[in-house]
Structure 1
Amino acid sequence: MDQLPLSGGNIVTILLAFFIILCVLLGVRIVGQSEKFVIERFGRLHSVLGPGLNLIVPFLDRVAHRVSILERQLPNATQDAITKDNVLVQIDTSVFYRINDPARTVYRIRDVDSAIATTVAGIVRAEIGKMELDEVQSNRAQLIARIKESVEDAVDDWGIEVTRAELLDVNLDQATREAMLQQLNAERSRRAHVTEAEGMKRAVELQADAQLYSAEQIAKARRIQADAEAYATGVVAKAIQENGLEAAQYQVALKQVEALQALGAGEGKHTVVLPAEAVSAFGDAFKLLKGRG
């Protein structure tokens, strides 16, 4: 079967069809969810295409940059820094960021990761230099917040958002480690001596309290005894006042008789020699007792 020669009109139609297909292919851009396209027209920034189906002008517009907007992590970095009290430390840091404005990122900075890493290193050294070693160790969360804030301010012109900054570790040189260990041991020894001294002081205080309590109880007993004797004396005085001298003589006679009975109740044989006045006194006592009875 012989092929028919193409006429001029058919050729134009075919070329036109190819041109339309090419325009469609060049003019339609599908952007992924995690990307943004930077479009240039005649070498200048024209627009930024977001995720989805986008149309551009074929042959005039071109995709100059494909920028990922996913969160990125810089490689862990280690930099030396000197604290306010002149201690050399090594700081391990990690920074997470994402690109919010691709136009500013691609036209204002060439190497984003290197620029952010350099910025972080300088800010870390500056912040560490404002703090003493103990503050760096104890206020790590505050230090991280200050580093993150400073980095955010520095990279804002690049269209970058710092999502997180981490201070992974603070390392010391061997000489500083040994000095800190000696200081720690000295502090432990001091605390042990202080605890022992406080224990001894407390023991002395308790012993003094016990002696004071004993003295107070003895004084209280003596005071009670003195009150009892004073009460007895008052009773006798009241009896003498109410009954006269006879009551007093009666009490004296009663005591004399009780003493004589106790003397006579002793074991063995005793010879008791009494003066005549004592015999007379006992006689008077017996008379009083007889009269009372």
Structure 2
Amino acid sequence: MPIESLIAEFLGGNIVFLLLAVFILLCIFLGVRIVPQSEKHVVERFGRLRAVLGPGINFIVPFLDRVAHKISILERQLPNATQDAITKDNVLVQIDTSVFYRILEPEKTVYRIRDVDAAIATTVAGIVRAEIGKMDLDEVQSNRSALITQIKASVEDAVDAWGIEVTRAEILDVNLDQATRDAMLQQLNAERARRAQVTEAEGRKRAVELAADAELYAAQKTAEARRIQADAEAYATGVVAAAIADNGLEAAQYQVALKQVEALGQMATGNGSQTIIVPADAADAFGKAFQMLKGRG
């Protein structure tokens, strides 16, 4: 066999082998898909949904299946949006909102909605206007957390068909026009003045009540002291009466004599006293007192 024929046969066999090897490598390259943790891949076969690949190693049919969409499942934030709304009491306000969401079912997102960010932003704007219209301005400012919860629930219901989860909705600010701000400031100042007047009136009322309580307490204590004094005098009178009843007239004379002696002693020891007035019956009083004392001894 000529050399040329052997070389041609060898090269032809190698080319077939090389082509087969290339085909196998290409099948492996097209059939094996490694999906990152933060993504999901949507696979189509002849233009129709075939499967959704999750994170990790996945296998598809080469030349028949293809990865049509690579969807990030990370949480996303819509750009902050401002929309006008009118409250229940006809006040024009500007609401600054921010919405966070993530895609849970990519097959719904890619086949049911074209621009998901714009769709969510439009939905949020409509829901915010509807919810603000149900509330007065004071309720909007005081019940912001309840308003945020209601907006989040309404947005979740609206975007559920798109395979989206709304993770958080925030109302960043509630802006008012200058005329409304001036009116609210005047109302706030009037309310502060009213509270100050009420506080002052309550203070005066409390002072009057405390003064009345003090007078009542003093009257009660005075009456109590008088009652105690009357009880003491009544007790002393009772003791004297009992002594008279037990000892007769001598006990009464004895008490009178003692009182006279005490009176004379006080007059004698007074400051600057130069003259002592002695009653005519002083001697008799002393004598009777000494006799009684002697008799008691």
| TM-score (norm: length of structure 1) | 0.80
Of 152, 159, 172, the residue aligned with 1:155 is 159
Identity score, percent: 74
Rounded to whole Å, the distance in 2 between the matches of 1:245 and 1:193 is 74
Query: 1:86 aligns to what SS in structure 2?
Result: coil
Deviations 1:110-138 (A, max 9, x none): 11001111111112222222333233223
Name the amino acid aligned to 2:143: N
Q: Look up the match of 1:84.
A: 88
After superposition, where does 1:31-50 map in structure 2 within 5 Å?
31-50=35-54
Query: 1:162 aligns to what SS in structure 2?
Result: strand
Query: 1:104 aligns to what SS in structure 2?
Result: helix
Q: Look up the match of 1:10.
A: 12
Q: Cα distance 1:51–1:180, how it changes in 2: closer, same or farther (>3 A)?
A: same
Of 108, 113, 120, the residue aligned with 1:116 is 120
* C-alpha displacement of 1:187: 1.6
Q: Cα distance 1:73–1:245, how it changes in 2: closer, same or farther (>3 A)?
A: same
Name the amino acid aligned to 1:126: A
Rounded to whole Å, the distance in 2 between the matches of 1:52 and 1:289 is 128
Q: Look up the match of 2:63.
A: 59
Rounded to whole Å, the distance in 2 between the matches of 1:187 and 1:162 is 40
Larger displacement relative to structure 2 (202-211 or 248-257): 248-257
Rounded to whole Å, the distance in 1 between the matches of 2:265 and 2:69 is 134
CA contact (8 A) 1:253 1:282 kept: no
Q: Cα distance 1:263–1:101, how it changes in 2: closer, same or farther (>3 A)?
A: closer
Deviations 1:22-63 (A, max 9, x none): 444444433333222222222211122223333333333233
Do residues 173 (structure 1) and 160 (structure 2) align? Answer: no
Q: Look up the match of 1:194.
A: 198
Rounded to whole Å, the distance in 2 between the matches of 1:161 and 1:167 is 18
Do residues 99 (structure 1) and 103 (structure 2) align? Answer: yes
Do residues 219 (structure 1) and 223 (structure 2) align? Answer: yes
Query: 2:239 aligns to what SS in structure 1?
Result: helix
Structure 1 unaligned segments of length 5 or more: list them.
none
Rounded to whole Å, the distance in 2 between the matches of 1:262 and 1:53 is 123
* C-alpha displacement of 1:107: 0.7
Deviations 1:205-238 (A, max 9, x none): 2222222222222222222222222122212211
Do residues 139 (structure 1) and 150 (structure 2) align? Answer: no
Rounded to whole Å, the distance in 1 between the matches of 2:72 and 2:233 is 106
* C-alpha displacement of 1:109: 0.7
Query: 2:69 aligns to what SS in structure 1?
Result: strand
Name the amino acid aligned to 2:70: R
Larger displacement relative to structure 2 (56-65 or 148-157): 56-65
| TM-score (norm: length of structure 2) | 0.79
Q: Cα distance 1:220–1:23, how it changes in 2: closer, same or farther (>3 A)?
A: closer
CA contact (8 A) 2:267 2:276 kept: no
